[in-house]
Structure 1
Amino acid sequence: MAIAATAALAVVIAAGLTILMDTGPVPGTAPVRVADQPAASRAAVPPATIAPAPLEPRRPLVPPDVVTSPPPADDPAASGPVPRIVGGPGISPGPVSHGPMAREAPSAKPEVVDEGPAWQAFTQVVVIGAGTLNLGGRKVQLAGITPPESGVRCRTAPDAEAFDCAFLSMQALRQRLRARGVECRLSTLETIGVEPAPCRIGGTDLSEWLVEQGWAEPAADAPEDYRTAEDTARCAGVGIWAEAPRPDSCPVR
């Protein structure tokens, strides 16, 4: 019995060694170091050499093929600039024009017809000189009279101080207007500069009134009423006639 058990144990050990040699070391066991092997065994094993992988040759950089569009057809209509078309959702494209854009001629302004002189009312009136009015943009010289020139001295009374005659004439007209509106007979077309025109306040002719006050003389083409007004001023010795001798035709005082 002892011999049989010993033989069976030997068979099991031999089988285990055979399996160990086929599968490698059992996990958990220390590997066999090379230093523990005999020197003769180490010398017999040649060192492992790894051949380097061959390098792939670099390919030269080749630019991509340039795609060129064929030359346009010889079309005279296509030689001009490309028209710009504005479009989009809900927008119908406009007509395409290959020629130059034609501009529409500007509309002609309506021609203003001069209807002749007419009486016009003005509320913004400023006396800017002897017999001269500014009607809010248009300047008017009272027609039919000759105002005194600047530089000539006048006295309103024999014992009064002398002042510039043109200034006194302007002041007299300012006192007559006193921010009142006037009516002047003017053309419907405005002119540049000062234009002569008759002006009135109600039924009073301002030109005739200025002559009657002695602050203007009738012009050569003045109506006869202006000359009658001058005779009245001379006889009264007012305005520029304050120091002038009285005409013989004046009534006896």
Structure 2
Amino acid sequence: MAISAVALTIMAAKSVHLPPPPVLESVPAETLSLPSPRHQGAGIAVAEVPPSPARSIAPDIVAPPEVARLQLERIEARPPLGDLGLAPPPKRVGPDDWEGTLLYRPVVTSSASFEAMGYVIFVAGAEAIDPGQTCRFEGVAWRCGERAMLAFRYWLRGRAPLCQVFPPAERQPVAAACRIGKQDVGAWLVSNGWAHALPGGGYEKAEEVARKAGMGVFGPPD
């Protein structure tokens, strides 16, 4: 019975004629528009579409953004992180700093003179002891002239005195003040008793001290 009922239902469905679907006519695009605001009150909601932020990126169309022109300001450089690599400050020249010529490989010719680099230098303010002079100390004679010259030779060996001489057209024997470092050569000779002080040379007091102390030619042979 169930099978017969199903068969009858299928046959009935085939006998029913459905109406054809409606034919839609083409409507011009101008007539398809959103409802006007006056229709919104009738219950029709209309959403506002915000403007698109997209823009053309063609290189011949896109203009660079305007940048405010600011005036550049020069600022001081930052302090160094450390002292490494810093150049030393320039050395100040004191009033007693000498200008002159360094004379290399001096050869002593007396207890107050030497030759070097074509110059013949007599130490200013000092008078040499004659190489053949003999001195007496407590009745004992000794060759103080040779000893004075030898003392100056040992002291000057391997050094380059700085003397106040400048290259002249013809180098002649000249009396010049000389120094080795900060040591005045004339003051060293006279204060150690290996030369006499010339009058007005500035070493008179140094000779007095050497005589009282028995230094050099004023003392015993050594």
Question: What is the TM-score normalised by the length of structure 1?
Answer: 0.44
Greater relative contact order (CA < 8 Å, ≥ 6 in sequence): 2
Tell me the TM-score normalised to structure 2 length.
0.50
Query: Highest Rg: 1 or 2?
Result: 1
